Structure 1
Amino acid sequence: MNLTPADPTLLTPPARRRGSDRHASNPTPSEPAPAPGVASVTALVAKLSEYLSASDMKKVKEAYRFSDEMHLGQMRKSGEPYISHPIAVAEICADWKLDVQAIMAALLHDVMEDQDVRKDELIERFGAPVASLVDGLSKLDKLEFQSQIEMQAENFRKMLLAMARDVRVILIKLADRLHNMRTLNFMSSEKKRRIARETMDVYVPIAHRLGLNTLYRELQDLAFAHLYPVRYRTLGKAVKSARGNRREVVTKILESVKNTLDAAGIPAQVYGREKTLFGIYRKMRSKHLSFSQVLDVYGFRIVVDSFANCYVALGTLHSLFKPMPGKFKDYIAIPKLNGYQSLHTTLIGPYGTPVEFQIRTQEMHRVAESGVAAHWLYKNEQGNVGDLQQRTHAWLQSLLDIQKQTGDSAEFLEHVKVDLFPDSVYVFTPKSTIIALPRGATALDFAYTIHTAIGDCAIASKINHEHAPLRTELRNGDIVEIVTSPTSRPSPTWLAFVRTGKARSAIRHHLRTINLPESIALGQELLAQALSALNLNPSIPDALADRLLNESSAKSLDELYADIGVGKRMAALVARHIFGLSEHDLSAVAEGGSDGRPLAQRLEPVVINGTEGIAVQLAPCCLPIPGDKMIGHLRRDQGLTVHASDCDIAKRQRSKEPEQWTDVKWSTDLHRRFDCRIKVLVQNVKGVLARVAAEIGEADANIIFVGMDEDRDQKMTQLRFTVQVEDRVHLARLMRNVRQIPSVARIVRERA
């Protein structure tokens, strides 16, 4: 029987429930009337009836009744019956027109986690596909983990791997997270901030990566509202006030564009759109602007009827308003990594206001708003989203590759979060295949993206047919070719400059598995030396070893030694941790092992020489060099990240987590050079770049990167160099030489 919104068999609770002696003769009360905004079965059935068959609706009914039975008596923090949450999640999935198995899984997604329903019971009642979806969505709260961080990382790992096998897992999970964020007001302030931060760090990037832009924007704004409520309310009031002031401008632009397109014979829908509060806030932060300085709060979208008319409409717009130089992007010819396609252009509108336009077809608009969900949402229409599905499948497959090479859940999540970073560069293979990589990716990242074996054997690269080192950052449009050698092997130093999760996990996997006995022996020797320097016994007692392993992800001392041997951990830092554990022992206190001062004040600064491998990373935001005062950021299982003491990013992070920072100093015995960024403002005259490069060479410094302003019509141009120097004295000599060039107006050291 086909279920309609008025079907009483779906709206009436089941006659008998688990743990209850109620029978049909003594029925439970019917579903209470939902409060405003609360999901109801009636609305869900109305949406599902639009596209599901009668037999599918019967399966949904069975899943609803079972979920209602399992959650009987369970309430949400808001006071609503808990069943309202699975219904709301299923309703969001119905908006995407997900199939019957996904809708059933949405209704059942909490029964394993909250009610101890076994997977085999779900298989028996609803089939293996539905049970697998629910299992992928269920958390691991019932297992024992060494820390909350490890438990969270393992939950994400399980969810992402289930998603790699079936993308519906993450679609249901995102719907679940969206409803939880919409109803977060009933949680404590601390829990609201924790969930909002988790949403911003993981779920927002996943939504963006899958092209779910509508969901992505709403999750961003909801997380922003709970992370910074005062800023959110203040900015919201400012935007509301600005609407009235800018209404005349928006109306004038809309009318002008519509009339111009009509006159050109281009069928189009034109409408204005307001940027999200978080989008405005992010621009204010990144560009150090006040709200009044953010002129492009409004943008305009033009949806045309054909691919060719996208470019015709662009030309028409450019004849109406003057385009801003360097503000045009063609995401139709080269789509974004998540399949997004549009033409972007910024024009100078009336009253000199910059106005952003997006031009796309109806099919592109569907994919832009619904991303990978467009596969279900528009599967009965002619739109072709095959390329998007292939891109998504390739990324999901890369998750499985990373899992095979990764030792623990925290490391797996670290790699995945790197790949979720939204900015991308697009480069070409020698055969003109487009490869998308995260912003800042290097030639070595490109090699590992092509194939792990190519990355492992890489020795150099050719970028635009010119030889370049593997650490060279790639730029849009580069043609990249990798030079390999069968005798080449990954080096720990590679981890200092690779950007993608796949490259990082492959290098670590190789270092972890090759020459394991030698790595263990080397790590044991290095730790013994570090312990002796702190006047501790190099032989670690069993009780202390157990405590040490419990507070790290290492499963044995051999694994800990191997991590030190391959450079994943730093011997001096492990020794300091052992010192911190031993000082709490009664024997240590009785012998005067502690003088009452914090541990960081009683120990000498960690000495580094810059060749420690992956255990020590020089922060890319400030790139400290010898002579700089430094501080180090200790992150669990990620070694030591060294910042310059005056680094703004380090100051902000240190104020939030002061206990994770330690003093660091340079070794007096340094035998290498260090990267440093400089900016040079020059007059745009013939030969100036050659003059500057020659002076850098005269100062005995090596140039590894050169960049410049894209607009070469101006009188002044800013050149950007990454150079390798010995220390601050060497850098000062280099800058003094360059400053003497007549065409140079200013030279400064660049920091983020």
Structure 2
Amino acid sequence: MDDTKQIQNDKDKAEIINRYRALLRSTEGKADAKDKKMIRKAFNLALDAHNGVKRKSGEPYILHPIEVAIIVAREIGLGPTSIAAALLHDVVEDSDYTLEDIERMFGEKVARIIDGLTKMSGVFDQNISAQAENFRKLLLTISDDLRVILIKIADRLHNMRTMESMPHHKQLKIASETLFIFSPLAHRIGLYTIKSELEDLSLKYTEPEVYRDIALKIKASRAGEMKYLKRFSSKIRDSLKREDLEFTIKERTKSIYSIRRKMVNQGVSFDEVYDKFAMRIIIDSPPEREKADCWRVYSIVTDFYRPNPDRLRDWISAPKSNGYESLHTTVMGPDGHWVEVQIRSKRMDEIAEKGYAAHWKYKEDRATSDNLDQWLSRVRDLLENPESNAVEFVDNFKMQLFSDEIFVFTPQGDMRNLPKNASPLDFAFDIHTDIGLHTLGAKVNGKLVPLSFNLKSGDQVEVITSQKQKPKEDWLNYVKTSKARSKIKQSLKDDYNKMVDKGRAVLERKLNFIKVRMTESNIQRMVNHFGYKNPQELFYKAGMGIVDNKMLKDFAKDTQGGIYQYLRSKIRRQPSQPKSQQTVKTESSTLVFGPNEEKLDFKLAKCCNPIPGDEVFGFLTSNEGIKVHRSDCPNAISMQSKFANRTIRAKWVQNEQSSFIANILIKGIDTVGLVNKVTQIISNDLNVNIRSIGISGEDGVFEGNITVVVEDRVHLNNVMDKLKKVEGVVSVERKFAGSAK
């Protein structure tokens, strides 16, 4: 291939040619001669732009855009335009080629996608305010062309697959970002397979020990589990053949991340996760028969195995808003094992695997199209009212990504998708902003309900409106959707600003009457005299009539008194720090920070109580200096993703002997003298100081919380290992104190 003659290394050249041919194979059936010519042209341009550039791993950089293009073509299922854009996605940012060059060579469509991808670069490399502003740009691009975010997800997936050569702190940062935004985005768009891989790879770097432990257990049990699933499915296969159904059965175990999530949420061990087994039945049925055939398969499965009625999920009759359609049930298989069975058509499976990317292939299916349009409409609504608080803006969008869904109906029978526990106010704003702003009340299934009522799937909702009605502040406690929240806040803000303007004029008129000038210094004195936060609050109170003539006359009697109050308030704002909360001094610390391993003042976070030996990081708080958290702290992912610029590498070093507090959770079967055995092992045998202990039992089982003082992680592990050997003890694990504020 003449196009690679610039590449000096023969081994690199062979690998590039090999991967490029793999890309071409992945386009078979999707690209004609003209399309292949465009892809070849994009490859040549990318090859020139990245010539001589290496990745951290030492391989030629050009392999990255090729692999991203393969993911786009093979795993997401996009066409030639997206494949070309994937090959070119880093060209404008990393070389002298401009967007105008791209548009001239490849046309407006490819250039627009490249523009969106270039704008998205660096979204997570700045402080949170800049992140949120760039994230807004990202969402604007999504609402314009969904292919941009699909290619960006492919880019992130390949980066996650090839992170081994990166420094640990960068691995942690990228993995946290992935869990925080990219994984839920992939889920929301319907890329379930990619979403699961992103989660597993993120766990590999955020909690490596947990990942390895679960991965090894899955590997050890996989052969037996697959054998079990084959035995489970044999009767079903025979019955499906007798019904003359064309089908495929896929047996699998759940992802590492989903198993870990169940272990944490349910407080159980790996062996106690009861539905690790899963089976998918995919039928080849025409569109007019696929729903009926799916229910036929359900009937066959439940003829052999008893279903759990609480675990039936019908997303065939009511698809998810991202187009996902499937029938899920959990049944009791042989030997008392629960097995999740997913039933779907071939068309449904492709949409489930490739999400909205498969939507274009089945664009005649209006249900899928309407769901896509509805979600993009919500994204646009969110962008129309950007929050002043950047963190809240990102969190609101994430809430929309993560939330489970319900479906409710209008009085005319139209179906609307809403987050779980949505209120009639959410429904009203989802119908139209003007209806939401003037909601007076609501009827659910014909009965009048409060606006705080939690809607359930199948409810029929009627909104009662009045032009005299306006949003109230307590409405914010009732709503779940970001659209409703932003519209209510905007309305309240507009009303507040109008009252501030009115109050300014009222205050000026009243001060003139009592011969007091409305200067900035006098305004500030009044703010402090009346105990308000800022001048806006003073004007608002004046507009509401709360600051009356008597109050103003009292203030005017002694302006020196106003100055005195101001000085006192300044002193009160800077109280001396209690000794118990003083910053830990470096002389007694065992931590160093940053690449230069400097000794800095810090505090140990109470939410996770790190001790020497734990993997930790520092977090620069706004008013308490550096706080040190464990890398597996429940708050770690959020902090490292949202405030990457405020996280600092931290490392334990050998220093003078220190003591640290650790919390232990112990569970088991209640036995006589258990508390005495536990305290004797800790206090007498191990000579460890117990700060507190609480053990409660019920119906033959017990659970206990023990707080001990240890030297480091090795010391703590020794304590926990001894406790595990106590008769009746089933599990001993380290416990988080709670969520950080």
The structure 1 residue matched to 2:447, chosen from 453, 466, 477, is 466
**Corresponding position: 1:62 with 2:46:** no
Tell me what 2:55 maps to. Answer: 76
Distance 1:635 1:358, change over 3 A: farther
Q: Secondary structure at the match of 1:335?
A: coil
- Aligned partner of 2:376 in structure 1 is 396
- Pick from 75, 88, 110 the counterpart of residue 108 of structure 1: 88
- Deviation string 1:200-254 (CA, Å, 9 cap, x unpaired) is 1211111111111111111111112111111010011111222244344222112
Out of 61-70 and 443-452, give the one that drifted further.
61-70
Q: Distance in 1 between matches of 2:77 and 2:407?
A: 32
Residue 164 of structure 1, CA deviation: 0.6
Deviation at 1:80, TM superposition (A): 1.5
Inter-partner Cα distance in structure 2 for 1:71 and 1:396? 35
Note the alpha carbon deviations across 1:584-618, whole angstroms, 9 max, x for none: xxx99xx999687379969xxxxxxxxxxxxxxxx
Which residue number in structure 2 is paired with residue 534 of structure 1?
none
SS at match of 2:350: helix
Q: Which of residues 33, 49, 62 is equivalent to 2:12? A: 33
Amino acid in structure 2 at the alignment position of 1:196? A
Question: 1:20-58, CA deviations, whole angstroms, 9 ceiling, x for partnerless residues?
Answer: xxxxxxx55377437989982221123235421222222
Q: 2:101 aligns with which of 121, 124, 139?
A: 121
The change in CA–CA distance for 1:221 and 1:143 in structure 2 (over 3 A counts) is closer
Q: Secondary structure at the match of 2:341?
A: strand
Deviates more, 1:41-50 or 1:330-339: 41-50
How many angstroms does 1:562 deviate by?
Answer: 10
Give the corresponding residue for 1:315: 299
In the alignment, the residues of structure 2 paired with residue 513 and residue 384 of structure 1 have an alpha-carbon distance, to the nearest angstrom, of 43
**Cα 1:426–1:510 shift into 2, 3 Å:** same
Distance in 2 of aligned mates of 1:40 and 1:558: 64
TM-score (normalised: structure 1): 0.65
Letter in 1 for 2:73: A
2:405 pairs with 1:413: no
Higher RCO (CA < 8 A, seq sep 6+)? 2
Q: Secondary structure at the match of 1:301?
A: strand
The letter of the residue matching 1:450 is: I
Q: 1:12 aligns with which of 4, 21, 32?
A: 4
Provide the C-alpha distance between the structure 1 equivalents of 2:103 and 2:37, rounded to a whole number of angstroms.
17
| Contact 1:332–1:343 under 8 Å retained in 2 | yes
Structure-1 separation of matches of 2:229 and 2:379 = 44
- Out of 390, 400, 405, the residue aligned to residue 424 of structure 1 is 405
- 1:334 maps to what in 2? 318
1:75, 1:81 within 8 Å by CA — same for their partners in 2?
A: yes
1:64–1:558 Cα change, 3 Å: farther
Aligned-partner Cα distance in 1 for 2:322–2:257: 21
Kindly provide the amino acid, as one letter, of the partner of residue 106 in structure 1: A
Deviation at 1:143, TM superposition (A): 11
- The share of aligned pairs that are identical, in percent, is 35
Query: Would you say 1:190 and 2:182 are equivalent positions?
Result: no
Using the alignment, how far apart are the partners of 2:482 and 2:324 within structure 1?
22
Does the alignment pair 1:347 with 2:339? Answer: no
Letter in 1 for 2:278: G
Which range moves more in the overlay, 33-42 or 267-276? 33-42
In 2, the alpha carbon distance for the partners of 1:402 and 1:375 equals 23
Tell me if the contact between 1:266 and 1:313 (Cα under 8 Å) persists in the aligned partners. no
CA distance in 2, matches of 1:310, 1:416: 34
Question: 1:275-301 CA deviation, whole Å, 9 max, x = no partner?
Answer: 111111111111111111113211111
CA-based RMSD: 4.0
The amino acid of 1:327's aligned partner reads R
Give 3-state SS (helix, strand or coil) of 2:311's partner. strand
Structure 1, unaligned runs of 5 or more = 1-7, 14-26, 527-536, 542-556, 567-586, 603-633, 638-650, 661-750
Query: Which residue of structure 1 aligns with residue 437 of structure 2?
Result: 456
Q: Note if 1:162 corresponds to 2:141.
A: yes
Q: Paired residue for 2:493, among 480, 490, 512?
A: 512
| Residue of structure 1 equivalent to 2:513 | none
Q: CA contact under 8 A between 1:70 and 1:111: conserved in structure 2? A: yes
Counterpart-to-counterpart distance in 2, 1:110 and 1:212: 23
Aligned-residue offset at 1:100:
2.6
Structure 2 CA distance for aligned equivalents of residues 144 and 222 of structure 1:
18
Report what 1:238 is aligned to: 217
Instruction: Summarize the Cα distance change of 1:132–1:383 in structure 2 as closer, same or farther, 3 Å threshold.
Output: closer
- Are 2:120 and 2:138, in contact at CA under 8 Å, matched by a contact in 1? no
User: In the alignment, which residue of structure 1 is the partner of 2:229?
Assistant: 250
Counterpart for residue 132 of structure 1: 112
Q: Secondary structure at the match of 2:164?
A: helix
* TM-score under structure 2 length normalisation: 0.66
Call closer, same or farther: CA 1:412–1:592 in 2, change over 3 Å. closer
Q: Which letter does structure 1 place at the counterpart of 2:61?
A: Y
Q: Which moved more, 1:511-520 or 1:227-236?
A: 511-520
Contact between 2:321 and 2:375, CA under 8 Å: does it hold in 1? no
Q: C-alpha distance in 2, partners of 1:197/1:516?
A: 39
Could you say which residue in structure 2 is the equivalent of 1:302? 281
Residue 426 of structure 2 corresponds to: 445
For residue 357 of structure 1, report the CA deviation from its aligned partner.
Answer: 0.9
Which residue in the other structure is 2:69 paired with?
90
Mapped to 2, the partners of 1:655 and 1:142 lie a distance apart of 18
User: Distance between the aligned counterparts of 1:214 and 1:564, measured in 2?
Assistant: 55
2:468 matched residue in structure 1: 487
Partner Cα distance (1:384, 1:654) in 2: 44
The equivalent residue for 2:152 is 173
CA distance in 2, matches of 1:418, 1:384: 31
CA distance in 2, matches of 1:655, 1:77: 24
**Secondary structure of 1:185's partner?**
coil
**SS of aligned partner of 2:324:** coil
Partner of 2:607: none
Q: Check whether the contact 1:254–1:271 (CA below 8 A) recurs between aligned residues.
A: no
- Check whether the contact 1:112–1:118 (CA below 8 A) recurs between aligned residues: yes
Provide the rounded CA distance (Å) in 1 between the counterparts of 2:244 and 2:34: 48
Q: Distance in 2 between matches of 1:601 and 1:538?
A: 37
Q: Kindly state the Cα deviation for residue 395 of structure 1 after the two structures are TM-superposed.
A: 1.2
Q: Mark the runs of 5 or more structure 2 residues left unpaired by the alignment.
A: 508-520, 526-533, 544-566, 583-618, 623-632, 644-737
For the Cα contact (< 8 Å) 1:208–1:422, is it kept in 2?
no
